[in-house]
Amino acid sequence: MTDIMQKITLGILGLGTVGGGTVNVLQRNTEKISGRTGVEIHIKSALVRSLNSERICDCSGIQMTTDHLDIVNDPEIDIIVELIGGDTLAKECLEIAIANGKHVVTANKALIAKYGNELFAKAEANNVSIAYEASVAGGISIIKALREGMSGNEIEFIAGIINGTGNFILTEMLEKGRDFSDVLAEAQALGYAEADPTFDVEGIDAAHKLAILAAIGFGMPIDFESVYTQGISGLALEDLKYAQELGYRIKHLGVAKRTENGIELRVHPTLIPEKRLIANVNGVMNAVLVRGDAVGNTLHYGAGAGAEPTASAIVSDIVDVVRRISSGNHSASAVPHLGVAAELLQTQKIVTVSEFSCGFYLRLTVNDEPGVMAQVTQIFAEKNISIEAIIQKEPTDEQKIVQIILLTEECREKLLDECIQEIQSLSAIQAPAVKIRVEHLS
Ligand code: NDP
Ligand code: HSE
């Protein structure tokens, strides 16, 4: 680095998994990064909760503090990198930083999903930008791809495995027969899970991310509250196995789809044909399938969580902001926060769950007696829903209870729920039906 090189100063809020990974990448690749930006990036200070905790990075030369105001009010700091998580202190920090004219880089999808619309407006009013690539799908540059690379397309749908913890759990359960809570504990130890892991297993984290992607893809304000959200905690290993027998994989999928009735926004376990690439995305890896009218299908794949994959996205955002500052264009991003100027974003009608349209997997637990299969198929026939596949498993105990597994063609969810209601009233039915949505993604 030369003496005349411009210096840009960072303050990092949070030095845990992602904060520590970010310091490591910035320190290890310092020459390369300054070669690419022509700027020396200096980490001045970092916020932590506990000054004495062990860190995964070398903190020598970094001023450590437990008072966020030391950083967000520091006039020497140009960029605030927010990696504490949550939506209280993090929000306050961003608001102060923005008011002080500082650019922000964040990995905080909970914050962006809930308060992105207002925070982006504040940033634009103060001529600074909020960069948030790491908030969706860890190390995959999906925001850049969607917002910039696909800006010439009308987006038809986005379907993604966008929670690394959930995908890690499903993979380990199916491939190694491991217990759900045991794998979750490992995901926490590896730094993949959220501070509150129910965000991962109940689908909330994926819903945050889907809301962000849908806003960019469909040019609408972020609408997290409208995302239909179902997690993986209720999934049974037997359904993962039956799906495999039928030539499918169950993945926790976020789907944002343009339909004639409006936009479907939903995250839930989903059967996907095993021949699709995305069905074979395993472990902590994420993948996002985006279909644009011009480009067709694009699949974006990479590590969805973890220290350095996420740091890769954070550092890429830092580089973008550094380039903007060093070019003298301090003003708001040339690329609008959601890819469309705020005043041109259009609120969209969001489709309710009963109007969702997809295929369905049903597992019925019934008495092994003659005529049950005929009764079930009759109910579907009356609603004009075709059954694409059906299997009946041998009774496993003396009570002669059998499992019937069937796959339907695409139909309205309301119609399917009416069938289930009728089926549940049959005397042979022994347990509530298990319903899982199917997406062919063809
Ligand atoms: P960690 O829990 O590992 O780290 C959080 C850091 O913030 C810690 O250093 C903690 O201090 C500090 N911190 C938290 N609360 C306070 C507070 N009130 N005052 C001062 N310091 C505080 O979280 P992650 O690094 O995993 O996640 C950070 C953000 O990145 C979250 O928004 C998360 O959703 C997001 N993210 C995480 C990914 C991952 O793979 N982990 C991937 C993509 C995004 P101390 O260390 O002293 O406790
Ligand atoms: N907890 C999140 C996940 C971190 O497992 O995907 C990455 O956003």
User: Could you read off the pLDDT of 370-427 as tens digits, one per residue?
Assistant: 999 999 999 999 999 999 999 998 786 677 899 999 999 999 999 999 999 999 999 9
Instruction: For residues 85 and 337, give the distance between their C-alpha atoms in angstroms, rounded to a whole number.
Output: 20
Q: What pLDDT, in 10s, does the model give residues 184-221?
A: 999 999 999 999 999 999 999 999 999 999 999 999 99
Over residues 154-161, mean pLDDT: 98
Residues designated as active site: 209
Is there a domain that residue 1 lies in? no
In a 3-state reduction of DSSP, which class is residue 111? helix
Q: What is the pLDDT of residue 2?
A: 54
- The enclosing domain of 393 has a CATH number of 3.30.70.260
Answer whether residue 349 is part of any domain: no
Q: How confident is the model at residue 5 (pLDDT cuts 50, 70, 90)?
A: confident
Are the C-beta atoms of 173 and 180 separated by less than 8 Å? yes
* Segments forming the whole domain that contains residue 376: 354-438
pLDDT of the residue at 99: 98
Q: What is the pLDDT of residues 92-139, one digit of tens each?
A: 999 999 999 999 999 999 999 999 999 999 999 999 999 999 999 999
Are residues 26 and 126 part of one domain? yes
Predicted structure pTM score: 0.97
pLDDT for 351-369, tens place per residue?
999 999 999 999 999 999 9
Q: Are residues 187 and 93 in the same domain?
A: no
Q: What is the mean pLDDT of the chain?
A: 96
Residue 340 is assigned to a structural domain of this protein: yes
Interaxial angle between packed helices 109-125 and 204-218, expressed in degrees from 0 to 180 and rounded to the nearest 10: 40
Give the strand order in the sheet containing 63-65.
Answer: 63-65, 39-47, 6-13, 79-82, 103-106, 130-131
**Residues 6 or more apart in contact with residue 176 via CB below 8 angstroms:** none
CATH number for position 313: 3.40.50.720
Burial of 52 (C-beta count, 10 Å sphere; 0-12/13-18/19+): exposed
Average pLDDT over residues 137-166: 98
Are 80 and 24 members of one domain?
yes
Closest residue by CA, ligand 1 atom 18: 49
Ligand 1 lined by 197 (C-beta under 6 Å) = no
**Is 62 within a domain?**
yes
Q: How many domains does the chain have?
A: 3
Atom of ligand 2 at shortest distance to CA of 305? 7
pLDDT at 344: 96
Domain end among 288, 316, 344: 344
Q: Ligand 1 pocket, 304 CB below 6 A?
A: no
What is the biggest distance separating any 2 CA atoms in the chain, rounded to whole angstroms? 87
- Per-residue pLDDT at 1 exceeds 60: no
What is the arithmetic mean of pLDDT over 287-306?
Answer: 98
Q: Are residues 406 and 327 in the same domain?
A: no
Q: 3: pLDDT confidence band, cut at 50, 70 and 90?
A: low
Same structural domain for residues 333 and 423?
Answer: no
If asked whether residues 22 and 147 sit together in one domain, one would say no
Q: Packing angle between helix 17-28 and helix 307-326, nearest 10 degrees? A: 60
Measured between alpha carbons, how far is 183 from 310 in angstroms, rounded to an integer?
Answer: 21
CA distances from 171 to 78, 94, 142, 174, 177 (A): 42, 36, 23, 5, 9
Ligand 2 near 203 CB (within 6 A): no
How many A from CA of 297 to the centre of ligand 2?
Answer: 24
Which tens digits make up the pLDDT trace of 216-265? 999 999 999 999 999 999 999 999 999 999 999 999 999 999 999 999 99
Give 333's pLDDT tier (boundaries 50, 70, 90). low
